[in-house]
Amino acid sequence: MTTTARAHTNIALVKYWGKRDAALMLPQTDSLSLTLDEFYTTTTVNFNQALNEDQFYLDGELVSANKAQKVVKFMDLVRQLSGRTEYAQITSVNNVPMAAGLASSASAFAALAGAAAKDAGLDLSLKDLSRLARRGSGSATRSVYGGLVEWHRGVDDATSFAEPVQEVPDFDIAMLAILVDTSQKKVSSRGGMQLVVETSPYYPAWREVVKRDMVAIKEAIANRDLPTIGHIAQENALRMHALNLAADPGFTYFDGQTILAMQTIDRLREEGLNCYYTMDAGPNVKVIFDPKDQDDLLNALTPLFGAERLVVAKPGPGIEFLTEPVMKF
């Protein structure tokens, strides 16, 4: 049997940036995100008794055992939960740049959790699937659901899972990715957040910031108040990136084009467009905006960044199971 699942990436409006338990992948704080329709991962899993190790193919190429470690560790967890003993063939295709701050690990591990659990015969609720995805990558917890999604930090493995806030947002919101550089980052999300928790003197303040932002953004969502949602998201992102600058050694994911994009969005907002920026663990900038401003936004950004670097995304769906495998193998 083979099982294929697709999950979409999500971009946090209130960020997850730090673990309190690395083994169980429990976060320091709650977080809240928007799942995107344009960026996703499709993964097929096939448990097979003829194999004597997991075989992981990514974008058509066999991945070496060393680079497949996160996937193999995740499959070990699925074997432990299901009682299955066979190894598996895992074939995955990313429709998102990998390791560039566009949340490939979120779509990747949500899709893998869905396909592997189902192929192993586990019949998980979405809540339990969200808990399982968390073990692959924290942000994957939220990609099980579409639209606006909250991840409750919880107190233990059983209570740390995501829940939809609005699976299909009932107001207009879109996100534009400015792809300033899609090469793979030097500091992984995992490494960056660990250094920050261990060394950034502002970490206690960050916990308080997120507590307040979570309350305020949920209120703004209930009020369909895009300017307040955007404002909270932009400030939250800046504060997350301030943690990185203050770490020891200090670091940043920004490059010159990141700053140019940030300054441009601030200027366009001052000129009357409803737009706000957020950045993750990479130089690429995501713009939260009102779809009615799309043409004006694209017209302003195209001369600076080029049309091929601008990708408009709308709210995307939760996990989906497909009947066709991602590729023939």
Residue among 68 and 281 whose Cβ is closer to ligand DP6: 281
Position 15 contacts ligand DP6 (CB under 6 A):
yes
Is residue 315 a contact partner of residue 37, using CB atoms and an 8 Å limit? yes
Task: Compute how many other C-beta atoms are within 10 angstroms of the C-beta atom of residue 61.
Answer: 8
* Residue list 51-80, contact with Co ion (CB under 5 A): none
Stretch that binds ligand DP6, among 56-64, 134-142, 200-208, 298-306 (CB under 6 A): 134-142
* Residue list 182-201, contact with ligand DP6 (CB under 6 A): 189-190
Minimum CB distance to ligand ADP, residue 74 (Å): 8
Stretch that binds ligand DP6, among 12-20, 45-53, 270-278, 287-295 (CB under 6 A): 12-20
Q: Decide which of Co ion, ligand ADP, ligand DP6, none touches 12; Cβ closer than 5 to 8 Å per partner kind.
A: ligand DP6
**What are φ and ψ of residue 97, in 5° steps?**
-60, 140
Q: Decide which of Co ion, ligand DP6, ligand ADP, none touches 108; Cβ closer than 5 to 8 Å per partner kind.
A: ligand ADP
Residue among 141 and 257 whose Cβ is closer to Co ion: 141
* Residue list 88-107, contact with Co ion (CB under 5 A): 105
Is residue 93 a contact partner of residue 41, using CB atoms and an 8 Å limit? yes
Position 189 contacts Co ion (CB under 5 A):
yes
Three-state SS sequence of the chain: CCEEEEEEEEEEEECCCCEEECCCCEECCCEEEEEEEEEEEEEEEEEECCCCCCEEEECCEECCCCCCHHHHHHHHHHHHHHCCCCEEEEEEEEECCCCCCCCHHHHHHHHHHHHHHHHCCCCCCHHHHHHHHHHHCHHHHHHHCCCEEEECCCCCHHHCCEEEEECCCCCCCEEEEECCCCCCCCCCHHHHHHHHHHHCCCHHHHHHHHHHHHHHHHHHHHCCCHHHHHHHHHHHHHHHHHHHHCCCCCCCCCCHHHHHHHHHHHHHHHCCCCEEEEECCCCCEEEEECHHHHHHHHHHHHHHHCHHHEEEECECCCCEEECCCCCCC
Residue among 138 and 315 whose Cβ is closer to ligand DP6: 138
Residue among 33 and 234 whose Cβ is closer to Co ion: 33
Minimum CB distance to Co ion, residue 136 (Å): 10
Stretch that binds ligand DP6, among 90-98, 114-122, 135-143, 178-186 (CB under 6 A): 135-143
Residue among 99 and 311 whose Cβ is closer to ligand ADP: 99
State the residues that interact with ligand ADP by CB under 6 A: 41, 58, 70-71, 92, 94, 98-105, 108, 112, 137, 188-189, 280-282
Minimum CB distance to ligand ADP, residue 43 (Å): 6
Minimum CB distance to ligand DP6, residue 10 (Å): 7
* Residue list 235-274, contact with ligand DP6 (CB under 6 A): none
Position 12 contacts ligand DP6 (CB under 6 A):
yes
CA distance 93 to 274: 34
Minimum CB distance to ligand ADP, residue 227 (Å): 27
Positions that interact with Co ion (CB under 5 A): 105, 189
